[in-house]
Structure 1
């Protein structure tokens, strides 16, 4: 199994291959430049000062994803975000092979021999990689640290052979490469190395094989409708055609295949580590009531919001869970064992907003204090209580007031400070986690109006 050392392992293997083959050619002909060097540096770091030796330089200048392996092992995660496969990271490496000569013809001699080496070795087999990255050799012979080679030699175990092929660039393309490197041009050739697989060691789930398809292997059950045969939620309607439901209100969940036993509803807060499960459909005042959608039980505006495919309505009485909720956005799902089914099923999740509330008169009414210079402090009692980390603001008319400091503990009371134009009655909106308190009344007939009970008087 190859790992993240594979990229550097390819560079080290190619560098040693060139060094050994050119040394053999020099031993046979004694015609190569004296004391030549095979390096793997960035071109802008190479200087040919007096006394410098001729050299070949192999520089990795581009890394690109391999398109042939792009869809292997997909998908990586399931709908719950759990890892179900570990597809390898497949890469193509592009190298710039350059020659630097001290004397005339030195660069041409080195470049010609290097191109012949890669022409005769168009790929790095497992045997080549095991020999070039042998971790048992000393560092002077191998040219790289032993601990590095212990990791890089795992590249030899990848399922696909590493191939080396020239990529002939036009003069203008080669000029762009050297211009981006901010170095003087040298005779050079581009080589593509493909494919390098970096495999993950993260644990993944591997499902068991399917042994039977349905009861007695009779195959899947089909139905002459387009609706899914499983419990499904289609819509959540707060009372009064409001965009959110108050803590203590009744939320209607519409869907199909929602009749059965063991019905539970689960609220999961979008930001807080808060989850609430409610169950129970029997008794004088059950928290959950399952009934058929009844257009006659809804006003004219609400009737248009009932999905036509809904055959059941679950009414959730949130008044029985006020102490366990916080304002904000929730995902809501039902779980039940449908009639005629032997398994417990969980529906899809839909979004529901729970609105904050505050008292505007009588006991617990807002306390407004003038701080001078047009600034005021407003102290509110909120329900449900605010939780640590929840963003909260108070809007009076179009003016926004903020808490003087973040909440340190969960509390039902919070103070806000800010500037106001002057005395008067202001329509108040308490905004918690992006959800506003309900400040608009939506009558069955006529246009919507502002709720007169949501006014705060400032003197």
Structure 2
């Protein structure tokens, strides 16, 4: 692909090639690039390289960029065809000198039927057109008398002997980025492809509902998965978590076409994981549904309420919890609204220490946050005004 200066780079490369050709036949000659009506008569020997027309190569207009892999969507490049006119100018209108210059220019271009990567990189280093995939070819473009005279009429300049060339193809990349989806990691169970059916009731999970509308489930608690098309001879819940080497497989307590209920096993780590169902029926094979997020909350097992004496302005609090925290998980304690990260965890453990700096004396509701999921706060609703249960607090003295 090429940048926006690709046209300029090709013109400069053409001019440089022609310049080298005319200098071989006349040391004082040079190639220029200017509109024909602005090339005034002078005592210089010159050949003008003029880009008089651009068009789009229709065969490449809707082609994805070469670097686009199957499954990706790329924005097509702009494939251009450039049309140049070479015109010699000699002092005092000397046609013999003009013909000599034209011959040198044509010989040089005839030796460069293709603008190579080296040509483009050396003669126009300001552009990356040399790195485009398509080759840039220079072809003779015959023009009949009518076309040639029409061109010079548009130029509003006296006619001079000229030669036309077509340069194809120059590609300018789009500034709109394409889409590159992540590769598919698995086609399906047993290496099978996607299941296709002439119906709209394929198995799909729509909601994970912990008990009592809680935002996260606890280990040992039942969880209900809602969806449709979930009826099968065998149903298994597959629980995944970033800190599990292999997913857990759990048999449900109850399964219908619209809901499956199972209990969170004690080996499921706290934090954010996911759940899917494997549905297997005789003659229909095995199907794994879509995945939904499954939040598992830690449970503080330390005796609460707890009183901790400060040392100066610092306090050290140790909490125990279930399930054990995995080494590498993000763990913090929340006293009221203040968050304190756990001391360094190097192994899986159910005992976590926290060092609170600038600790203020007071009684605070306590929560344990593991992998972004908080332990539950008990709310006392015996009074008209609800309050946090005083038994789930830590007091700093």
Deviations along 1:241-261, one digit per CA (max 9) or x if unpaired, are 211101221111111111113
CA distance in 1, matches of 2:313, 2:219: 34
Residues 1:279 and 2:222 are matched in the alignment = no
- In structure 2, relative to structure 1, the CA distance for the partners of 1:398 and 1:5 (3 Å cut) is closer
Cα distance in 2, alignment partners of residues 343 and 442 from structure 1: 50
- Tell me if 1:194 matches 2:171: yes
Within 1, Cα distance between the matches of 2:226 and 2:314? 47
- 1:232 Cα deviation after fit: 1.1
Tell whether 2:330 aligns with 1:391: yes
Match of 1:155 among 127, 134, 141: 134
Larger Rg: 2
Distance 1:69 1:454 in 2: 68
Give the TM-score taking structure 2 as reference length. Answer: 0.57
State how far apart, in whole Å, the 2-side matches of 1:402 and 1:19 are: 67
Q: Does 1:345 align with 2:315?
A: no
1:330 corresponds in structure 2 to 273
Q: Select 1:434's aligned residue among 372, 378, 381.
A: 372
CA drift of 1:438 comes to 0.6
User: SS at the partner of 2:134?
Assistant: helix
The structure 2 residue matched to 1:415, chosen from 341, 345, 353, is 353
The answer for the alignment partner of 2:321 in structure 1 is 382
Task: Measure, in 2, the Cα distance between the counterparts of 1:267 and 1:9.
Answer: 54
Q: By how many angstroms is 1:19 displaced?
A: 1.1
Q: How well do the aligned residues superpose, as a CA RMSD in angstroms?
A: 5.0
Secondary structure of the corresponding residue to residue 260 of structure 1:
coil
Give the Cα separation in 1 of the matches to 2:64 and 2:133: 21
Aligned to 2:202: 230
For structure 1, which segment, 376-385 or 259-268, has the greater mean C-alpha deviation from structure 2 after superposition?
Answer: 259-268
Task: Return the offset for 1:131.
Answer: 2.9
Distance change in 2, residues 1:266/1:382 (3 Å): same
Cα distance change, pair 203–231 in 1 and its aligned pair in 2 (3 A): closer
- Work out the CA distance in 1 between the residues paired with 2:6 and 2:113: 11
Matches within 5 A, 1:214-225: 221-222=198-199
The match for 1:20 among 6, 12, 17 is: 17
Task: Measure, in 2, the Cα distance between the counterparts of 1:130 and 1:13.
Answer: 13
What is the CA distance between 1:406 and its match in structure 2? 2.9
Structure 1 residue 230 displacement after superposition: 0.9
Q: Is the 8 A contact 2:367 2:377 kept in 1?
A: yes
CA contact (8 A) 1:90 1:196 kept: yes
Distance 1:196 1:452 in 2: 65
**1:85 partnered with 2:64:** no
Aligned pairs for 1:54-453 within 5 A: 72=64, 84-85=70-71, 90-91=76-77, 131-133=114-116, 143=122, 152=131, 155-156=134-135, 193-195=170-172, 221-222=198-199, 228-269=200-241, 271-272=242-243, 275-280=246-251, 288-292=252-256, 311-318=257-264, 321-323=265-267, 325-338=268-281, 342-361=284-303, 369-403=308-342, 405-418=343-356, 419-424=358-363, 426-441=364-379, 450-453=388-391
Q: Helix, strand or coil: the match of 1:372?
A: coil
Give the unaligned 5+ runs of structure 1.
Answer: 39-55, 57-67, 77-82, 95-116, 118-126, 162-191, 206-218, 223-227, 281-287, 293-310
For residues 252 and 128 of structure 1, what CA distance do their matches in structure 2 show? Answer: 77
Contact 2:306 2:394 in 1 (8 A): no
- Residue 422 of structure 1 deviates from its aligned partner by 1.7
Aligned length: 292
- 8 Å Cα contact 1:86-1:204 kept in structure 2: no
Deviations 1:177-201 (A, max 9, x none): xxxxxxxxxxxxxxx95345999xx
**1:89 Cα deviation after fit:** 6.5
User: TM-score normalized by structure 1?
Assistant: 0.50
How far is the alpha carbon of 1:430 from its aligned partner? 0.8
Report SS of the residue matched to 2:202: coil
Q: Write the distance in 1 (CA, Å) between the matches of 2:327 and 2:371.
A: 11
Shift of residue 387 of structure 1? 1.9
Distance 1:442 1:338, change over 3 A: farther
Deviations 1:356-414 (A, max 9, x none): 111242xxx687543422421110112111122322221122333333x4322222111
